Structure 1
């Protein structure tokens, strides 16, 4: 099932925000008028791609994730993504080509901690080159890779970029930890 570009943008935005959202928040995020967004959200709900969790708040459904082409992550996959990696597979931060900062992240949670401390120019450098996306894909997290590509499209910089990247990675770590926990309690 293909979506119109506007419906896809709205659905991706709801997915990206990763929380129950009001259509007015989505409208602000995508730069469209509220009536337009509301009309598309209603259409997405009728198709089963979003659902209401409480009055006026929407979340993406499993069917919505599928139409965006997002892979399903089970407990084992979540465990693999959250695992520590050896130094040679760690993410190594650079200020520029040939200018290592001698800071590396040995896993997704470690990455989340390091991006709060590393110089923001390093974050800008790696984001613009697609390094974060490639590393997340290497960890097996295609969804986080796509979210990072989405952040790149926002053309953020400085502390605003750091905040957004941290928020997305932190939320993803929490989401994966819940999925992994369901595996161990099963």
Structure 2
């Protein structure tokens, strides 16, 4: 669906969203640039991980973050069950990792065999090597929002995966694709 420039408002009845409404929403929401990260948790002695673009810094006192997870995804179940998880913020050159962990139907066994990582100090969840920044979080609240769970976590450990001088090229999701920042 293509909306004309300076189109009049597209009115939506939230109780009766149709395909046209959903298409218009997807088109306009694609104009929101966001960072790209990987959420990981240990669940039933397995590593579970997925690429996310819906995450944010909530507060610095105490350090708190939020991530939006599709409620029917393996990662949502793993994060909710484990109670602790990691968020690794990706660099531009980690697009291949983002694509791999965003692919539906990834294997349950060996998901991270092709992704370099180390273990977080508390939960043992995966922290991706070379991430711009990483955070280990303990879940403090989970809120349902439409088809997703908003998981709020307090930071229990954090760090960089690269030297600060290399932390200037984040992977960004915009207009249904990955990009870097240009200067």
What TM-score comes out, normalization by structure 1 length?
Answer: 0.26
Instruction: Report which structure shows greater RCO (CA 8 Å, sep ≥6).
Output: 2
Q: Which structure has more helix as a fraction of its residues?
A: 1
Determine which structure has the larger strand proportion and give its number: 2
